[in-house]
Amino acid sequence: MINKDIIEGNWKIVKGKLKQQWAKFTDDDIEKMKGTYDEIRGRLQKLYGHDKERAEKELDEFIQKNKLQ
């Protein structure tokens, strides 16, 4: 299981990687997310048109790929 709090704990590192992974994220989007899993998932849903399950899957894969767990 993914530890969702790990994003907040590594936010300085994660911010840049988010923009690399999802180019539609703006600096303003990233500031508003404040490192919370739910906020990032919500932005994925809004900007990319993903349903909740797909957004969670992509975000969980991002966390694993970047060894954030």
Contact 21, 48 (CB under 8 A): no
Structure tokens at 46: 């809004």
Asked if residue 63 is part of any domain, the answer here is no
b/e sequence 34-56, b meaning 16+ C-beta within 10 Å: ebebeebbebbeeeeebeeeebb
Contact 62, 13 (CB under 8 A): no
Structure tokens at 34: 């404040």
Asked if residue 68 is part of any domain, the answer here is no
Task: Name the pTM for this structure.
Answer: 0.84
The CATH number given to whatever domain includes residue 10 is 1.10.1470.10
Task: List the domain range (segments joined by +) for residue 42.
Answer: 5-57
Asked if residue 66 is part of any domain, the answer here is no
Asked if residue 26 is part of any domain, the answer here is yes
What are the pLDDT tens digits along the chain (69 aa)? Answer: 567 777 888 888 889 899 999 999 999 999 888 889 999 999 999 999 999 999 999 999 999 998 876
- Dihedral sign of CA atoms 56, 59, 63, 64 in order: positive
